[in-house]
DNA sequence: CCACAACCCTGAGGGC
DNA sequence: TGCCCTCAGGGTTGTG
């Protein structure tokens, strides 16, 4: 379940093997992996181009080409890596390669995605495919004042709001739970009822949780892999996510799991009381 | 503005 | 061993 830290880790890992390389051929297994434009146009546009740089916006991987951008969204089970052959693990060869890009140096950029939720795009501006992205939480512009402003007048459950990419870009289920726990805020609290100190705390814990995830090179719950094929370590540092019934690291009470906005939500009922 | 459901898809894991 | 069932979920879209 790649979120901002996982996508950022992929971006960083791809720079060395991919920047400066030229794409000489593209082959796909099924047209649905190419989201926009049409497969024929996508291949025509991408082939022959050199990768200038690689960056991230929200959970999108953006490969800047000579002209235009090759964008990739991993969704749940996507992997993106450069290798001579599809990856192999204990389970065998990567059976889920959906599209691959042959590079001039003989290496190949593979996009693999078991559940086919992810996809690739050829665009000139991220707004073409994601017009309403919220602020990047790790950039300087994301201040407590900005968060306060965005919470104003919102009656939604704070956890549900945090999952909206139009609210804050890049936060997903894992890091939403982790930052709410660290800020001692109940996931069902209404957004516009958060107090000043709570907002300040949440601002800090969102950044801390994401930075921790990046530092540990992402969380490999089941599918996520770094571009070199190894697992991240972020999952070993979760306080609440995937810890239902286990003792809270702060007070020892069992972690509770509920559903919020159709997502599994983990929290400590004592450290995160319903009322501030 | 908000909640909820459906949808895209397939592997993992539990029950029996 | 294997079949069946449910669950996991990022993001979009539609409904009320």
pLDDT digits (tens, 9 = 90+) for A150-186: 999 999 999 999 999 999 999 999 899 999 999 999 9
Q: Which nucleotide is closest to the Cα of A115 by its C1'?
A: B9
Cβ atoms of A101 and A46 closer than 8 Å: yes
Whether residue A231 has pLDDT greater than 90 = no
Which pLDDT value is given to residue A244?
86
Which residue in the list A56, A59, A159, A201 is annotated as catalytic? A59
Is A2 a known active-site residue?
Answer: yes
Which pLDDT value is given to residue A2?
86
Residues A81-108, mean pLDDT to the nearest whole number: 88
Q: Which residue is nearest to nucleotide C7 (CA to C1')?
A: A264
CA of A236 to C1' of B16 (A): 33
Which pLDDT value is given to residue A221?
61
CA of A242 to C1' of C2 (A): 29
Whether residue A93 has pLDDT greater than 70 = yes
Is A246 a known active-site residue?
Answer: no
Q: Which residue is nearest to nucleotide C12 (CA to C1')?
A: A130
Is A3 a known active-site residue?
Answer: yes
Q: Which nucleotide is closest to the Cα of A177 by its C1'?
A: C9
Strand B and A32 CB separated by under 7 Å: yes
pTM for this one? 0.94
Whether residue A22 has pLDDT greater than 70 = yes
Cβ contacts of A124-132, under 8 Å, gap ≥ 24: A124/A68, A124/A69, A125/A69, A126/A57, A126/A60, A126/A62, A126/A69, A126/A71, A128/A36, A129/A35, A129/A36, A129/A60, A129/A71, A130/A57, A130/A58, A130/A60, A130/A165, A132/A165, A132/A166
Radius of gyration of chain A from its Cα atoms, rounded to whole angstroms: 20
What is d(CA A163, CA A173) in angstroms, rounded to the nearest whole number? 7
What is d(CA A202, CA A177) in angstroms, rounded to the nearest whole number? 11
Which pLDDT value is given to residue A235?
65
Which pLDDT value is given to residue A95?
85
CA of A30 to C1' of B8 (A): 14
CA of A246 to C1' of B5 (A): 31
What is the average pLDDT value for chain A, to the nearest integer? 90
């Amino acid at each position: 379940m790649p979120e901002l830290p996982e996508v950022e880790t992929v971006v960083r890992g791809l720079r060395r093997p991919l920047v400066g390389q030229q794409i000489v051929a593209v082959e796909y297994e099924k047209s649905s992996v190419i989201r926009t434009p049409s497969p024929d146009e996508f291949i025509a546009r991408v082939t022959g181009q050199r990768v200038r740089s690689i960056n991230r916006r929200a959970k999108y991987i953006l490969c800047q080409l000579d002209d235009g951008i090759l964008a990739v969204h991993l969704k749940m089970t996507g992997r993106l890596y450069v290798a001579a052959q599809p990856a192999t693990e204990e389970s065998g060869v990567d059976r889920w390669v959906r599209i691959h890009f042959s590079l001039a140096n003989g290496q190949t950029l593979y996009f693999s995605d078991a559940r086919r939720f992810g996809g690739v795009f050829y665009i000139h501006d991220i707004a073409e495919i994601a017009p309403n992205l919220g602020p990047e939480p790790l950039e300087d512009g994301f201040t407590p004042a900005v968060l306060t402003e965005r919470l104003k007048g919102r009656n939604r459950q704070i956890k549900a709001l945090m999952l909206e990419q139009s609210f804050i870009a890049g936060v997903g289920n894992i890091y939403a739970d982790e930052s709410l726990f660290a800020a001692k805020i109940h996931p069902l609290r209404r957004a516009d009822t958060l107090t000043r100190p709570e907002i300040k705390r949440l601002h800090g814990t969102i950044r801390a949780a994401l930075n921790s995830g990046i530092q540990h090179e992402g969380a490999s719950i089941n599918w996520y892999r770094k571009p070199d094929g190894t697992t991240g370590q972020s999952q070993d540092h979760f306080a609440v996510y995937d810890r239902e019934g286990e003792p809270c690291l702060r007070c020892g009470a069992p972690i509770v799991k509920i559903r919020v906005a159709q997502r599994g939500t983990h929290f400590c009922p004592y450290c995160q009381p319903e009322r501030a």
